[in-house]
A and B are shown apart, each in its own frame.
Chain A
Amino acid sequence: MTQRLPLIIFALVMAVIPFVPGVPPFWIVLLDNIGLAALVAMGLVLLTGVGGLTSFGQAAFCGFGAYTTAVLTTAYGLSPWLTLPASLLVSGIAAVLLGLVTVRLSGHYLPLGTIAWGIGLFYLFSKLEFLGRNDGISGIPPLSIGSYKMLSPDAIYYAIWIAVLISALLTMNLLDSRTGRAIRALRRGHVAAEAFGVQTPRAKLLVFIYAAVLAGLSGWLYAHFQRAANPTPFGAQAGIEYLFIAVVGGAGYVWGAVLGAGIVVILKEVLQSYLPYIFGGQSQLETIVFGILLVLLLQLAPTGVWPWLMSRLPLKPGRKTPDTSLKLPARAQAGPTSSVLLHIEKARKQFGGVTAVNDVSFDVNAREIVALIGPNGAGKSTTFNLITGVLTATSGKISVQGKEVENAPPQEVVKLGVSRTFQHVKLVPDMTVLENVAIGAHLRGSSGAVSSMLRLDRADEAGLLAEAARQIERVGLSDQIDQLAGSLSLGQQRIVEIARALCVDPMLLLLDEPAAGLRHMEKQRLAALLRQLRDGGMSVLLVEHDMGFVMDLADRIVVLDFGTKIAEGTPAAIKTNPDVIKAYLGAAA
């Protein structure tokens, strides 16, 4: 309940404002505009700040929302309430079509792509006959309840702000859930998320549609607020401004969108109404000042105002401790020791003319720790990527428990009980250890976006968090459970990755340089943990450079050099193998 308290206070304050005597009607208009902008910016917070997908085209989605209701109410005489689902649907469908094209784009292509179609759509709105070309559509009926028509700014005020508050609530619920974690993991690249079963293209499309629907909602409200729709507010300039609002408020924070909208809308208003008095009637002076202020603000607070404000308030978000008594169903234990768990036969990977993995074959048996060693560039990480489906093999066969993997994507491989850690740690630094580890249990939950928004996912969610907490305890990081992953040392982050991998309830654990950055004592603790896991029925395949650690721990060692397996055997045999000494260990071994 303490989480909700500020929200309730905010809602009450907003509800009372129109009744405060002496509040100029003009303020209400401003607040209406702030609410409309906040809705769009909230979508951008999720899309850009959380998901890492920058869009300059959100104004176009407002356009879809506004024009849909404009056409349906004026040309076909439909009631505005009936056009609401239609407006949201049209924006959503437009988002699916554009999203399928753009969302897969990596890096800076995405924002650039959105600028292009944002401008393209603006011109389309202004050229289509049935949308009234440049003049747009006027005479849109107001929203009404019974015979009460929301004609004045303070009537539609409630419609707008109820929409804002509900959207904020749903958005926050979504972020604090299984789906939300998957979305938050997107910004750090797709490989880690996919390794735990997250369908990243789908997650990206989901946030893209969500943001577009919020923009469509804003557009629908806008059309009935202005009672007219023309192309100007849906052009590139507006799209840029929405992004600006999100960044000013603090991209990544739901309330940052509301705050940013407030700052920008009021600032623009002040500039537009006062600058001409100060400097005489110079037109467009506000644009100049606005632009300069924008640059200045980014230099002073590049992360936005909301986080800056929060760090100065004594509010600390309350944290719930997961109930570790809740248990998720476990996977069936592995068979007896002799059975082959992972079988690799003549796996080969070529990048252009370079053969990174050259017909490598080896097995990992149940209840066995196997080490993969060799110089950097020998193909160890590539082999990991082939096993886990990050890369597809050029030729060869990889099977898990007799089931051929056949170039399945990572999301399928993890379902077979294969989980991994990464050579370069891939955690989400601004998520807590608990949240990061819970991503590992992604496939063991089932709640989707809608049930998360409506909080129907709580039982499912509690189970996932309990599992995560248990694995964190197992690797000995319980004290750090609520810390941000980015604040841990690199060595600890590697251990967090192991806990995350354990959340899959794997049969085979792939560890890429788990001991790097650990001290002697910590390495011993890690070795003990891995032995304990093996004795519990798990198999481990690890890449490691610390020969002392490897020789001590591994049951068997596979040596790669230039993509080719040069030796395989027990630690004792490897130490004295002349080929290994020549290629890897050196004469002094």
Chain B
Amino acid sequence: MNTTILLFLLQDGITNGAIYALLGLALVLVFAVTRVILIPQGEFVTYGALSYAMLATGQVPGTVQLAVGMGLVAFALDLFFARKALRARLVARSAALNIAFPVGLLAVTYKVAGPTTPMAVNIALALLIVAAIGLFLYRIAFQPIAHTSVLVLLIAAVGCHLALQGLGLVFFGAEGLRGPALSSAAVTAGPLRFTGQSLAVYGLTIAFIVGLWLFFGYTKTGKALRATAVNRLGARLVGIRTSLSGQIAFLLASMIGAISGILIVPITTLYYDTGFLIGLKGFIAAIIGGLVSYPLTAIAAILVGIVEAFSSFYASNFKEVIVFTLILPVLVLRSLAAPAVEEEKD
């Protein structure tokens, strides 16, 4: 093997790995706070990517209507669960978040959508739409069953994935889409050529890791989210609204998913169901990271990307087999190193 190919594969692997790292981080975040294993993460990726791609061609994506619809359901649920003590402030807050926000988004999207809309506006719109969907998804699907077992939450997550993927087909059609690159600049270093796009991938991944670290270590909200993850009842007893923590976690995760999508849609064509597989690879990284460690997850994600790049070069037929069985040796090591004493839990 020559060094150029080696370097090329490494670069390719690291670029993909960085995306997996972002998704892995989001999965860890959501699991830690809500115990939900976020199977629909892949849909956040496709929704973000394809909404952006459609906006770039001047069309209004169906996702914005979905956001409005989900907002209405979320509002109805808020009213239903607070029916015994409807206070004006509560209703107003819920209406602002669940109705005014998505409807406003819809209005803005219809108003500015067009072939000449600046790219930054399209990105912002795509992000906000997916963020709204993520937020409402937690409110509708998970908040009412937040106290149940990981298994029930997991199956609910699968249900969300199925529904969102089906809706993806309705919104985006069976044809794949590609979006415009964020930047056409490129830097050459030796045999390697770094596009602006891949530099943006690296930059944003690092920014997110640092950002999450600062957020959880030093802000009150971040600490409250961590507290929710460590001990739900304890968190409630000091007045932290765990449902809010869950919504924040989903908001962050959906935005991270959308950003990942927007970053890759200029590189590869995405279909309505591509996200699932991409999400699963972030997932592998998150599992290797034990669903708790951010740095470990990021490193594992890079590793997954590199293994994937090399196996697609040498054994492209078995690329997926190799990537998904990569997890087995890791799990074996984990189980060998696992402490003998079980946690005291009911």
Contact = CB atoms under 8 A, between A and B. Distances in A.
Interface of A: 48, 54, 101-102, 104-109, 111-113, 115-117, 119-120, 123-124, 127, 189-191, 240, 243-244, 247, 251, 282-295, 298-299, 302, 385, 390-392, 424
A146 B199 CA distance: 70
Given A104-B335, A115-B280, A115-B283, 6 more contacts: A102-B331, A247-B155, A291-B158, A295-B160, A298-B152, A391-B340
Nearest to B328: A101
Contacts of A106: 335, 338, 342
Contacts of B324: 116-117, 119-120, 123
Contacts of A109: 287, 290, 331, 334-335
Contacts of A299: 144-145, 156
Given A111-B154, A244-B158, A284 B331 contact: no
Contacts, number: 147
B317 A116 contact: no
B175 interface: no
A186 to B, nearest CB: 11
A115 B290 CA distance: 15
A345 B290 CA distance: 39
Contacts of B91: none
B166 interface: yes
A295 B159 contact: yes
B280 A240 contact: no
Interface in B136-168: 140-141, 144-145, 148, 150-152, 154-156, 158-167
A59 to B, nearest CB: 13
B120 to A, nearest CB: 32
Contact of B287 (A48, A104, A112): A112
Contact of B328 (A111, A117, A295): A117
A391 B341 contact: yes
A123 B163 contact: no
Contacts of B318: 123-124, 127
A238 B268 CA distance: 28
Contact of A120 (B148, B321, B332): B321
Where chain A touches its partner, the secondary structure class is: helix
Given A189-B342, A287-B162, A287-B165, A127 B151 contact: no
A191 B31 CA distance: 26
Nearest to A113: B331
Which 10 interchain pairs have the tightest Cβ spacing? A291-B163, A294-B159, A291-B162, A120-B324, A288-B166, A287-B166, A123-B320, A116-B327, A295-B159, A104-B335
A48 B152 CA distance: 12
Contact of B155 (A104, A115, A298): A298
A166 B345 CA distance: 36
B107 interface: no
Nearest to A191: B342
B328 A116 contact: yes
Contacts of A283: 169, 174
A235 to B, nearest CB: 11
B331 A105 contact: yes
A390 B341 contact: yes
B284 interface: yes
Contacts of B341: 191, 385, 390-391
A54 B155 CA distance: 11
15 contacts: A104-B338, A106-B342, A108-B31, A109-B290, A111-B154, A116-B287, A117-B325, A191-B342, A244-B155, A283-B169, A284-B165, A288-B170, A294-B158, A295-B141, A295-B160
B325 A302 contact: no
A115 B277 CA distance: 12
A109 B283 CA distance: 12
B37 interface: yes
A568 to B, nearest CB: 27
B291 interface: yes
Given A109-B334, A190-B342, A298 B159 contact: yes
Contacts of A119: 280, 320, 324
Contact of A123 (B154, B162, B321): B321
Contacts of A287: 162-163, 165-166
Nearest to B320: A123
Contacts of B345: 189
B152 A247 contact: yes
Contacts of B37: 108, 111-112
A302 B151 CA distance: 10
Nearest to A111: B154
Contacts of A302: 145, 148, 152
A119 B344 CA distance: 32
Interface string B271-285: 000000000100110
Which of A244, A295, A385 gathers most chain B CB within 10 Å? A295
A291 B155 contact: no
A109 B140 CA distance: 27
Contact of B331 (A48, A101, A123): A101
Interface in B290-346: 290-291, 317-318, 320-321, 323-325, 327-328, 331-332, 334-335, 338, 340-342, 344-345
Contacts of A127: 317-318, 321
Contacts of A113: 287, 327-328, 331
B311 to A, nearest CB: 11
- The CB with the most chain A CB atoms within 10 A, among B162, B166, B174, B341, is that of B162
B151 A48 contact: yes
A293 B291 CA distance: 28
A509 B341 CA distance: 21
Contacts of A294: 155-156, 158-159, 162
Interface string B24-52: 00000001000001000000000000000
Nearest to B335: A104
A101 B160 CA distance: 30
A111 B170 CA distance: 31
Interface centre among A112, A113, A251, A424 (most CB of B within 10 A): A112
Contacts of A124: 318, 321
A291 B137 CA distance: 13
B326 to A, nearest CB: 8
B332 A291 contact: no
A101 B144 CA distance: 35
A130 to B, nearest CB: 14
Given A120-B320, A127-B317, A299-B145, A285 B166 contact: yes
A284 B280 CA distance: 21
A423 to B, nearest CB: 9
A405 B320 CA distance: 48
A568 B174 CA distance: 78
A341 B169 CA distance: 72
Contacts of A288: 162-163, 166-167, 170
A390 B151 CA distance: 28
Contacts of B174: 283
Contacts of A123: 318, 320-321, 324
A362 B148 CA distance: 46
B237 to A, nearest CB: 21
Contacts of B155: 240, 243-244, 247, 294, 298
Contacts of A247: 151-152, 155
A283 B152 CA distance: 28
Contacts of A289: 163
Nearest to A116: B327
A103 to B, nearest CB: 9
Given A190-B342, A244-B155, A116 B166 contact: no
